[in-house]
Structure 1
Amino acid sequence: MATGDASRPLRADARRNRERLLGVADETFQAEGVDASLERVARRAGVAIGTLYGHFPTRAALAAALLRDRHDALFALGDALPGERAERDALAEWMRLVAAHAVSYRGLATFLSRGAGDETSDLHADCARMAGITERLTTSARAAGVIAPGTTADDVTAIVNAAAWTQEQSSPGQAARLLALGVRGLSR
């Protein structure tokens, strides 16, 4: 039985290995970024690299498992927008939420961008859902006339990615400033 077979539960030792790999990968990705050595992750977890690949055949599969709960929470917040908020405020809030998420691990924004275009990636559906929420909120704000008529979801994503990169390279304060400037720049 492959450990990734969802139809049967994992043996206790395999479940422990999987949980240990996820814990060590989370710590390693937080410290070193999403492109950290998977061999080092396996070694720190006390398992062979083959065990890591048995549970997570690709780096994207490992990242998807690590991000599953975070993505579910992010999507729930995004799905609830605009709710009581005006369209511009809802879009700005989504941009802040996604930028904050993108710095969970250094390099995550770039990593997710790569996963978005790869339909075989375990992250493809999550990236598509994130893009869908961005598109919906951008379209709603544009229709309400609160952002410039030519503004696209790709414009919004570019601003969010720039803010995430800025936080990685500079500071959270500078990233927040850049995001606020971006929101003001989109606004009418």
Structure 2
Amino acid sequence: MGDTRAPRHMRADAQRNRARLLAAASAAFARAGVETSLDDIARDADVGSGTLYRHFSTREALVEAVLDDRYKALAAEAAKLQAEHSPQEALMAWLKLFVNHLMTYRGLAASVTTALHNETSPLHSACHVMRAAAYELVATAQRNGAVRDDIDASTILHLAASVAWASEQAPADRAGVEQMLAVFMDGLLCNSRVSRAVD
């Protein structure tokens, strides 16, 4: 679940309402995807819709709050992988984690893809630490000669999101997801079959 911490100046009852909304939203997103009804989330949290909008003015703001700790964890995992593995292995392992994260809730891949383009989006801001970590992984792998330097980190994140989106169309086909991931990651490598075929 996302970050349940509330601003220190918030009253105790408001903090409880915020925590209930985040818990209800996390459950609703898992059940029905990120496009689920906000009114239903408010009802599940046993608060009014007005209370929901006072805490989270938009759907994206609510999604951002639910996912805040996940993005921080992805950034931390990037640093850990970079310290323990080769640049290529670190990037490949992290991309798998990122795709799995995007598959947590139906519709999340599309929401994140949109947010990556929109700097005014709350979700864009929430992704900042995670994006910076991903960009560093890509840059290190490119400097090391492991990953093609004709593709930038932003494009790589969008391609990863595309794999996650495609997986939503056949959620039971885990083997298909793994195959898409393998083809995607193989295409990033300097020594990949795809690169050799193009050259």
| Correspondence for 1:145 | 145
| Correspondence for 2:196 | none
- How far apart, in 2, do the equivalents of 1:34 and 1:110 lie? 10
- How far apart, in 2, do the equivalents of 1:70 and 1:155 lie? 21
| Correspondence for 1:179 | 181
Aligned pair count reads 184
Q: Is the 8 A contact 2:113 2:161 kept in 1?
A: no
Deviation, 1:5, is 8.2
What letter is aligned with 1:10? R
RMSD: 2.0
Distance 1:10 1:79, change over 3 A: farther
Distance 1:46 1:5, change over 3 A: closer
Deviates more, 1:104-113 or 1:120-129: 120-129
Deviation, 1:135, is 1.8
Q: Is the 8 A contact 1:138 1:151 kept in 2?
A: no
Q: Is the 8 A contact 1:163 1:175 kept in 2?
A: yes
Which runs of 5 or more structure 2 residues have no equivalent in the other structure? 192-199
Residue 83 of structure 2: SS of its match in structure 1? coil
Q: Is the 8 A contact 2:82 2:90 kept in 1?
A: yes
Scaled by the length of structure 2, the TM-score of the pair is 0.84
Deviation, 1:7, is 4.5
What letter is aligned with 2:67? L
Deviates more, 1:28-37 or 1:149-158: 149-158
What letter is aligned with 1:37? S
- How far apart, in 2, do the equivalents of 1:8 and 1:173 lie? 49
| Correspondence for 2:197 | none
Which runs of 5 or more structure 1 residues have no equivalent in the other structure? none
- How far apart, in 1, do the equivalents of 2:153 and 2:161 lie? 12
- How far apart, in 1, do the equivalents of 2:118 and 2:77 lie? 25
Deviation, 1:57, is 1.3
Deviation, 1:105, is 0.9
- How far apart, in 1, do the equivalents of 2:128 and 2:147 lie? 23
Deviates more, 1:93-102 or 1:149-158: 149-158
Deviation, 1:183, is 1.2
Listed one character per residue, the Cα deviations across residues 138-178 of structure 1 (whole Å, up to 9, x for unaligned) are: 12111111122313213321331122112211233211221
- How far apart, in 1, do the equivalents of 2:122 and 2:29 lie? 17
Deviation, 1:56, is 1.1
Listed one character per residue, the Cα deviations across residues 107-153 of structure 1 (whole Å, up to 9, x for unaligned) are: 11211222233333322223233322222111211111112231321
Deviation, 1:51, is 0.6
Q: Is the 8 A contact 1:159 1:179 kept in 2?
A: no
- How far apart, in 2, do the equivalents of 1:122 and 1:159 lie? 22
Scaled by the length of structure 1, the TM-score of the pair is 0.88
What letter is aligned with 2:61? A
Listed one character per residue, the Cα deviations across residues 25-72 of structure 1 (whole Å, up to 9, x for unaligned) are: 111111111111101111222221101011111112211111122122
- How far apart, in 2, do the equivalents of 1:97 and 1:127 lie? 15
- How far apart, in 2, do the equivalents of 1:84 and 1:8 lie? 41
Residue 106 of structure 2: SS of its match in structure 1? coil
Counterparts of residues 53-132 of structure 1 (less than 5 Å): 53-132=53-132
Distance 1:72 1:131, change over 3 A: closer
